[in-house]
Amino acid sequence: MLDLRAHDRLVPFTRVTEGMVSAAELLPGHRFVACTMVGRYGFDDVMVVESVEPPSGVRPGHARIVKGGKLVRGAIELTVSAHDGGAAVRWQQDFGLGRLGGPALAAAAFGARLGYRAVLQRLLRG
């Protein structure tokens, strides 16, 4: 699935600061932190692996990662399945941003969606 060491600089302005491990070491309960900084300002994105099921035969792989930082909240559901000699990736995310609500949250969620799409496209090409 995901190897944090290989993709530490995949997200612009962000790097893993705690809990960097190989894909084989991503087990339920594993905690990692990604720090996003622009200039002197930044925030930590605290994540905990809730479940991991590697693909097996025709069964797709699945992971759930919960974001529980002070600013970024929510969960990521990632499913990878075999498809026409390659793989199909499904990424679903609940997104919360601190105490933001209404239009500010909608704008932040839209920006996050664009960012995740770009990162996933880069990840899948590499």
Tens of pLDDT, residues 96-117: 777 777 887 788 777 777 777 7
Q: Does pTM surpass 0.85?
A: no
DSSP assignment of 8-56:
TTSSTTEEEEE----GGG--TT-EEEEEEEETTEEEEEEEEEEEEE--B
Contacts of 70 (CB under 8 A, 6+ apart): 43, 44, 98
Helix (H) or strand (E) holding 116: helix 102-125
DSSP 87: E
Question: pLDDT digits over 42-101, tens only?
Answer: 888 899 999 999 888 789 999 999 998 888 888 999 998 888 888 888 888 887 777 777
